[in-house]
Amino acid sequence: MIAISQKSEPEAGLVLGIDAAWTEHHPSGVALITRVKQGFRIVRLGRSYEEFLAERGFILDKDEKPLGGLPAFKEIIKVASEQGRGEVQVIALDMPLSRGLITGRRACDNMISRIYGGRGASTHSPSRERPGSLSEDFRDTLVTLGFHLALEAGEKKAFFEVYPHASLIEMFSLEYRLPYKVGHSLKYWPALSLEERRIKRVEMLNHLRSLLGTFLVNLDEFLAPLDPHGTYRIDKLKGYEDLLDALVSALTGGLYLEKRIQAHGDEDGFVWVPRL
């Protein structure tokens, strides 16, 4: 375990955060942010790789269902650099990553589960099938494009694995993980009626959005709060959730550049968690 807790001077440069689906069949949220004097500024968002690349990225009044697919990293980095007018310095991915083949749980998975399991944030177990070769493809493609798997905090042209639940616990000093996952509302609130769960689901997404607004100076320009009384399709809420997770990943990347971060794991993989 590598502990680095001191705060350095803010770094310029762009940070990509990706809430990467573990299969190509589901969409992956993508967020591009940059450091500014007051915190961080959103540059571009997408509920999927395709949406991130299209036109101006995510637009609030879009109603299309985001699609799954594989990331065209070369194009994503090119679009990010052009719109952000700089170089992408860090790519933070909610995806198991390793220098070798991932076949099961790693030391980092066990460490995170030991530290955060009591607060409801144990990790999922990776396997040969999920994410399987997808993780290797991500790693190899990014290395080909001039990035490297991070070993120390603050490195430029680095990519690394994050875990949004742990990031949120540390960023906001939470006693327990936030119950904002759209597909788990019955698990979170089994005693509530369907309508009550619907309301709670929206409340928790709005609550997470509000928390992130303490770091992101222009959040309102990109992501409006949900209407507490509105009726939303599940895919619409899931896309909103994916954007929030991508922003958490990106903010973790920004804190990595500031060296306000801690790495858990060994040579088989690290999970980087903010340490404020």
pLDDT of residue 5: 38
Question: Is the pLDDT score of 227 beyond 50?
Answer: yes
Report the Cα 266 to chain-centroid distance in Å: 21
Dihedral (Cα; 268, 271, 272, 274), 10-degree rounding: -150
**Sequence-ordered list of residues with C-beta below 8 angstroms from that of 63, at least 6 positions apart, any chain:** 236
* Alpha-carbon gap, residue 88 to 235, rounded angstroms: 30
pLDDT of residue 197: 95
Could you tell me the pLDDT band of residue 10, with boundaries at 50, 70 and 90? very low
* Alpha-carbon gap, residue 29 to 45, rounded angstroms: 8
Identify the bridge partners of residue 127 per DSSP, sorted by sequence position: 131
Coil, strand, or helix at residue 273?
Answer: strand
Question: Is the pLDDT score of 8 beyond 90?
Answer: no
The number of C-alpha atoms within 13 Å of 266 and in the hemisphere containing its C-beta is 7
pLDDT of residue 60: 58
Q: Which residue has the higher pLDDT, 268 or 184?
A: 184
Q: Is the pTM of this model over 0.85?
A: yes
**Sequence-ordered list of residues with C-beta below 8 angstroms from that of 152, at least 6 positions apart, any chain:** 2, 4
Over residues 156-172, the mean pLDDT reads 98
Question: Is the pLDDT score of 268 beyond 90?
Answer: no
Coil, strand, or helix at residue 169?
Answer: helix
Could you tell me the pLDDT band of residue 9, with boundaries at 50, 70 and 90? very low
Could you tell me the pLDDT band of residue 3, with boundaries at 50, 70 and 90? very low
- Which fold is adopted by the domain 2-176+245-274? Nucleotidyltransferase; domain 5 (3.30.420)
Q: What digits encode the pLDDT tens for the residues 51-98?
A: 999 977 776 566 788 999 999 999 999 999 999 999 999 999 999 999
Residue bearing tokens 């001039």 = 146
Q: Which two tokens stand for residue 50?
A: 């395709």
Over residues 153-157, the mean pLDDT reads 96
Question: Is the pLDDT score of 211 beyond 60?
Answer: yes
Question: Is the pLDDT score of 4 beyond 90?
Answer: no
Handedness of CA 38, 11, 90, 266 (dihedral sign): negative
* Alpha-carbon gap, residue 267 to 270, rounded angstroms: 8
User: 89-108: string of b/e by CB count within 10 Å (b at 16+)?
Assistant: bbbbbbbbbbeeebeebbbb
Could you tell me the pLDDT band of residue 118, with boundaries at 50, 70 and 90? very high
CB 18 within 8 A of CB 91: yes
